[in-house]
Amino acid sequence: MPRQRIDVEKIREILRLHQELKFSVRKIANALQISKTSVGEYLAEFKRSGLSYYDITQMSDTEVVCVFEKSNKSANPMYEELAKEFPTYEKELARVGVTLYLLWEEYKERNPDGFSYSRFCHHYRMWENKLKPGMHIEHKAGDLLYVDFTGKKMHYIDPKTGEIHDVEIFVTIMGASQLIYVEATKSQKLEDWIWANENAWIYYGGVPRGICPDNLKSAVSEACKYEPLLNDTYYDLARHYNTVILPTRPSRPKDKSLVENAVRLVYQRIFAKLRNQTFFSLSELNEAIWEELENLNNTPFQRREISRRELFNEIEKNELMPLPAERYEIKHFQVSKVEFNHHIYLKEDKHYYSAPYQYTGKMVKTIYTSRMVEIFSDNIRVALHKRNRKKYDYTTVKEHMPANHQFVKGWNTDRFIKWASQMGGSVETFIELLLESKQHPQQAFKSCMGVLNLGKKYKVEDLEKVCMNAIEYNAISFRFIKNSLKNNIHKMEQEDPADLKLPLHENIRGKDNYK
């Protein structure tokens, strides 16, 4: 059977989980929702490559593909011989006292050069899972944190306006100790979601190895039973904290039972306790929530003489990974095409940022924070800018622009001027002024294209007249030309004001009425 094809980002994640988090093959497969066979084969190819994990992190996507995209291996005769025994092993394991270890010992007696115990178990489990697909969920200390929002909301009142503000309630629960964290947030939007996740990890004093969110849009861009598509920012947050996101599977109550139980407790122990109180700010509401939360976490479990807090301190606290030195700075992601003027367009700010002219026409990934904008091609950063929120403006690095004599995709200043000259002298002069109005001529290419294309929609003589007016009024912009043609301003100016007489009407009084 051919190996399951996966994208480069997932290959990188396989190596990160294996090298940095020391995840097993099974755990990586569960985390990334791919087959254990594929994980094992990629790790084997990585080992055979002789490269270090650091080497892979420094490679472009294309180079990584060259390392890992190799032909499928031919079938292993030793495995085929072992697989013939699996139906017998299944029956043997149903007998009292028979274990896989015992079966492996007997197998090694017959095949001294056979598989190791771990590979023996791996191959059997793979065969077994094909017959009985499923996933057993265990809760090991420090392993998983389940996160979600409650279905019901709380609120506070604005003391100045009396307006009621509904708020979302964020809930997390540790898998082993079941220690709960709760926080009220203004919304379920990405920024609030990221902040609340970080606050939870700070509350626990460390980071679990995996985070299990429900399939809400803040965490998962596209819900899928087998391979949910993670929100890019949430995925990046996990990398910052050196953990991994494991979305719960839609329509699988077993995945969600723990956090749903936490939500039920929050309703009973926090919502109900605070139902008769009035709050006048989000911070005031959270203070009350956290007070009741401590009561909940310090109350012993039913039928057990230990609380969530005590159990957490005893078995789970020391199993968490350390927090990083700094909190995560939220990043946003956008896939863009470098336009013919050598810039990408950042939709959120309606602003243009330059990329090296060699990337014109190529698709690139833009990653931006509150301060910086980075442009990547093939996983290599090709441009870095300070973020500028001025609409329809350009941020340009001089070195990104081609030399005047160079033709990039056939577009340069000479071509625009020649095109304009075919429409008329005023159009040509206007295009020259438009190109000169920018620090870099390429910044005006898009506007030049827009003006000249108006010659296809309107009469060329009308465009010539409007450009003449624009030059006279020093209104050198595409918008002036477009609006003038749209509103027929040039035609109105051609009319003689003396001919614009008021119509006769019985309600219009003559000058004699004012004597």
**pLDDT for position 254:** 53
Q: What mean pLDDT do residues 356-384 have?
A: 93
CA 480, CA 469: separation in Å to the nearest integer?
A: 10
Provide, rounded to the nearest whole percent, the portion of the chain with pLDDT above 90: 37
> Which CATH class for the 144-319 domain?
alpha beta
Cα angle 29-35-36, degrees, rounded to a multiple of 5: 65
Q: 125 pLDDT exceeds 50?
A: yes
Q: 98 pLDDT exceeds 80?
A: no
C-alpha distances in angstroms, 338 versus 73, 447, 476, 508?
Answer: 40, 16, 25, 61
Pair 308, 177: CB distance under 8 Å = yes
Tell me which residue has tokens 């920018």: 438
The highest-confidence range among 275-279, 418-422, 429-433, 468-472, by mean pLDDT, is: 275-279
Per-residue model confidence as pLDDT tens digits over 236-258: 999 999 999 887 655 455 556 78
pLDDT band, residue 115 (cuts 50/70/90): confident
**pLDDT for position 45:** 84
pLDDT band, residue 459 (cuts 50/70/90): confident
CA 176, CA 209: separation in Å to the nearest integer?
A: 12
pLDDT band, residue 203 (cuts 50/70/90): very high
pLDDT band, residue 197 (cuts 50/70/90): very high
Per-residue model confidence as pLDDT tens digits over 391-409: 878 898 888 887 753 444 4
CA 309, CA 179: separation in Å to the nearest integer?
A: 6
The highest-confidence range among 205-209, 210-214, 221-225, 343-347, by mean pLDDT, is: 205-209
Higher-pLDDT residue of 288 and 419 is 288
Look up the pTM and report it: 0.55
> How far from the centroid of its chain's Cα atoms is residue 166's Cα?
27
The DSSP result for 204-224, as a single string, is HTSB-SEEEE-S-TTTEEE--
The highest-confidence range among 183-197, 237-251, 303-317, 490-504, by mean pLDDT, is: 183-197
**pLDDT for position 136:** 38
Lowest mean pLDDT, pick from 1-5, 386-390, 460-464: 1-5
* Rg over CA atoms, the chain: 33
Beta bridge partners of 181: 172
Per-residue model confidence as pLDDT tens digits over 19-47: 999 999 999 999 988 889 889 888 988 88
Q: Which two tokens stand for residue 34?
A: 């791919």
Q: What mean pLDDT do residues 175-185 have?
A: 94
Provide, rounded to the nearest whole percent, the portion of the chain with pLDDT above 70: 80
Per-residue model confidence as pLDDT tens digits over 304-346: 678 999 989 988 899 899 999 999 998 899 999 998 788 999 9
Give the sign of the dihedral formed by CA 260, CA 266, CA 269, CA 271.
negative
pLDDT band, residue 117 (cuts 50/70/90): confident
Q: 183 pLDDT exceeds 90?
A: yes
What residues does each domain of the chain span? Answer: 8-131, 144-319, 332-400, 413-497
CA 176, CA 142: separation in Å to the nearest integer?
A: 7
Higher-pLDDT residue of 26 and 226 is 26
Q: What mean pLDDT do residues 129-145 have?
A: 61
**pLDDT for position 490:** 62
Question: Which of 168, 238, 210 shows the shortest CA–CA distance to 23?
Answer: 210
Give a three-class secondary structure readout of 35-55. CHHHHHHHHHHHHHHCCCHHH
Pair 354, 373: CB distance under 8 Å = no
Q: 181 pLDDT exceeds 60?
A: yes
Q: What mean pLDDT do residues 447-475 have?
A: 86
Q: What mean pLDDT do residues 197-204 have?
A: 97
Average pLDDT of the residues of the chain: 81
The DSSP result for 305-339, as a single string, is S-BHHHHIIIIIGGGSBPPPSSPPPP-EEEEEE--
**pLDDT for position 406:** 47
Q: 79 pLDDT exceeds 50?
A: yes
Give the sign of the dihedral formed by CA 446, CA 452, CA 458, CA 463.
positive
